[in-house]
Amino acid sequence: MHGHPLIYLDNAATSQKPQVVIDALTQFYRCDNANVHRGIHELSNRASAAFEKTRERAARFINASHSDEIIFTRGTTESINLLANAWGNQTVKAGDVILLTEMEHHSNIVPWQLLARRTGAKLAFLPVNGDEGLLDLSRLEDSLTSNVRLLAFTHISNALGTINPLVELCEKARKRGILTFVDAAQSAGHRRLDVQELGCDFLALSGHKMCAPTGIGLLYGRLELLDDMEPWQGGGDMISSVDFHESTWNKVPHKFEAGTPNIADTIALHAAMDYLDAVGRDRIAQHDSEIGAYAFEELERLGKVRLFGPRNQRAGLVSFLLHNIHAHDVVTFADRQGVALRGGHHCTQPLMKKLGVSSTSRASFYFYNTTEEVDRLIEVLRGIQKFFGE
């Protein structure tokens, strides 16, 4: 990149794709391409089987008790919109509260704002304790009031690298009869997830952040909750029978998958999940934790830097500002040395406002990143400081 070896440190935005995933895509289009759930011919049967096998694979990936609890979507954003519509429209009433946290991505804020506008519900936010980026859990009990219908929060913050205490949050909500939604976009490809052990009611993830193609993700929901939900999009495949004036719905999960789905990318998601488990998600989590801590420490040693997120038990990403140098300048300079960073508000504008910044620079790692690459990042940042006379 610009005459330098590429160091890709923008994995929280999207990961690179392994050859097996690319092969799964081309193999499908070359040999197995047909529509699913429709044909009687062999090719369609083959496509349908591979598509539904991914559903089973995804259920195993997050240890859902049944593959019907997996609804395929375009990604986490669409999953949350599905939830806010299919669950929210019929459950949430005026005066009800959706409890979020101050560190949510726009995708876990705006769909709830739209729901609030439709229903007269309100949003409330668990506070973040400043640059350290931890949720103020002392406020949790008081925030879980009787009118809270859902606690929706991110597992790992894309802007801070905070790992939220998922089990504790889900347990406290459950004790009050409040449903929980977990945004696992940043965590699903980085650590083991067991929805039964975690005790969450809903969870969403995006394939493209975990080695799969863009445009495929999923929403997990407990079966009895999904059974009670109304569809959110109408069309083919989601119906049982259609009359001129009325229709009946297909069963879960097909009730929520109108139209021809993203078949090829779904099948490639299967390959990505196999790949990640071959690498080992525990190993990835360990690597994340080590490289995240190493980057945090090295940035601190560099000096003249403001660091965001917790010092300990952080995810594999660091968010920072060099004193008196804007994040966009840092990203432009790093890019010229082949280092791909992200600079901006990371789709967390309310959090940025709370922290009193307009943007930060972010280096986000995956299992293929090395401490040598972090050293190179630090060397480049030192050069930027020198250029700017800092």
Contact residues for another protein, defined by CB under 8 A: 2, 324-329, 332-333, 336-337, 343-345, 349, 352, 358-359, 380, 383-384, 386-389
All residues at 6 or more sequence positions from 108 whose CB lies less than 8 Å from its CB, including other chains: 80, 100, 152, 153, 154, 183
Q: Three-class SS of residue 248?
A: strand
CB distance 116 to 99 below 8 Å: no
Could you say which of 170, 200, 211, 347 is catalytic? 347
For residue 102, the minimal CB distance to another protein (Å) is: 16
Instruction: Specify the residue, 275 or 308, whose C-beta has the smaller distance to another protein.
Output: 308
State the pairing for strand pair 360-364/247-249: unpaired
Where helices occur in 199-257 by DSSP H, the ranges are: 223-228
Instruction: Specify the residue, 17 or 376, whose C-beta has the smaller distance to another protein.
Output: 376
For residue 85, the minimal CB distance to another protein (Å) is: 25
Instruction: Specify the residue, 226 or 331, whose C-beta has the smaller distance to another protein.
Output: 331
| Percentage helix, strand, coil for the chain under 3-state DSSP, each rounded to 5 | 45, 20, 35
All residues at 6 or more sequence positions from 20 whose CB lies less than 8 Å from its CB, including other chains: 271, 272, 274, 275
For residue 77, the minimal CB distance to another protein (Å) is: 17
- The CA distance from 119 to 121, in Å, is 5
Q: How many CA atoms lie within 13 A of 102 on its CB side?
A: 19
Residue 347 annotated as catalytic: yes
- The CA distance from 212 to 200, in Å, is 24
- The CA distance from 75 to 69, in Å, is 16
Tally Cβ neighbours within 10 Å of residue 142: 7
For residue 381, the minimal CB distance to another protein (Å) is: 11
Instruction: Specify the residue, 266 or 361, whose C-beta has the smaller distance to another protein.
Output: 361
Instruction: Specify the residue, 118 or 304, whose C-beta has the smaller distance to another protein.
Output: 304
Give which of 209, 250, 201, 228 is closest to 64, Cα–Cα: 201
Angle at 352 between CA 349 and CA 354, to 5 degrees: 110
For residue 329, the minimal CB distance to another protein (Å) is: 5
For residue 364, the minimal CB distance to another protein (Å) is: 17
State the pairing for strand pair 339-340/7-8: parallel
Q: Which residues are catalytic?
A: 347
